[in-house]
């Protein structure tokens, strides 16, 4: 599986358990711990699937789901809750949820439902066409080429692989460990500054001001995020 998932859940242990499994399946995961944060991220960042708990601080999952749909987003939503009453399931589906899983759940069943919903997720035009533009940069994902103001940027194979991964997961905070594993194929438990060195190189080649980047951002203590 591939794609970006927003997991809105206030239980930290469940965040870690489900999040780890999603990443092991090849998915990039962004977290939100309350309803307000969940709605903000859902409407500001691109996701292929939203896993949404109902019992959340500040704003319930029902309200978040309704607000997401009222905002015009068609991202698939999987409701996740400890409630098992049929009325709750019907309520969630009526306000725009696509599926519903009740806690405690079987992880295999959850992954099967996630996979099914990801197949229904709208394809992003940039990835579908194989091209992506940001600032003065044009990236041809299929042709493995990047240009700046029409001039080809000299990127190494690894730099382009890193850029491609960042573009495909734009808006998602990516840890160094994930980048090492997905781009380099390294074990996540090794220590290396390879990611930092390559990010610095990409900034030098793509950013107007590498010291104050607009696109490849550092998320302190977490990793990097591509924003366009």
This prediction has a pTM of 0.55
The residues facing 32 across adjacent strands are 8
Residues whose CB is less than 8 angstroms from the CB of residue 12 and which lie 6 or more positions away in sequence, other chains included: 33
Cα–Cα distance list, 115 to 81, 102, 119, 122, 182 (Å) = 19, 17, 6, 14, 20
The residues facing 31 across adjacent strands are 7
Instruction: Let me know: does 131 contact 140? Beta carbons within 8 Å.
Output: yes
CA distance 205 to 203: 5
How would residue 84 be classed by pLDDT, with cut points 50, 70 and 90?
A: low
pLDDT digits (tens, 9 = 90+) for 179-226: 888 887 665 555 568 899 999 999 999 999 999 999 999 999 889 999
Q: What are the tokens at 130?
A: 């194989």
How would residue 69 be classed by pLDDT, with cut points 50, 70 and 90?
A: confident
Q: Which of 209, 179, 215 is nearest to 197 (CA)?
A: 179
pLDDT of residue 106: 86
Question: Within 10 A of 11 (CB to CB), how many other CB atoms are there?
Answer: 14
pLDDT digits (tens, 9 = 90+) for 119-161: 875 555 444 457 888 989 999 877 788 999 999 999 988 899 8
């Amino acid at each position: 599986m591939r794609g970006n998932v927003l997991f809105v859940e206030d239980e930290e242990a469940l965040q870690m358990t489900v999040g780890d499994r999603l990443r092991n399946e090849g998915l990039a995961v962004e977290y939100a711990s309350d309803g307000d944060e969940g709605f903000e991220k859902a409407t500001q960042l691109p996701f292929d699937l939203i896993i949404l708990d109902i019992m959340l601080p500040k704003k319930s999952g029902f309200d978040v789901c309704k607000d997401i749909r009222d905002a015009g987003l068609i991202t698939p939503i999987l409701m996740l809750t400890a409630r098992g009453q049929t009325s709750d399931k019907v309520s969630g589906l009526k306000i725009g949820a696509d599926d519903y899983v009740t806690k405690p759940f079987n992880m295999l069943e959850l992954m099967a439902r996630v996979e099914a919903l990801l197949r229904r997720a709208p394809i992003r035009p940039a990835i579908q066409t194989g091209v992506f533009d940001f600032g003065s940069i044009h990236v041809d994902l299929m042709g493995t080429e990047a240009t700046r103001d029409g001039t080809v940027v000299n990127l190494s194979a690894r730099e382009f692989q890193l850029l491609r991964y960042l573009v495909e997961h734009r808006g998602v905070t990516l840890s160094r460990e994930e980048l090492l594993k997905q781009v380099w194929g390294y074990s996540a438990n090794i220590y290396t500054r390879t990611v930092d060195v390559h990010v610095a190189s990409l900034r030098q080649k793509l950013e107007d001001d590498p010291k104050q980047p607009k696109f490849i951002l550092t998320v302190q203590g977490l990793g990097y995020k591509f924003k366009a």
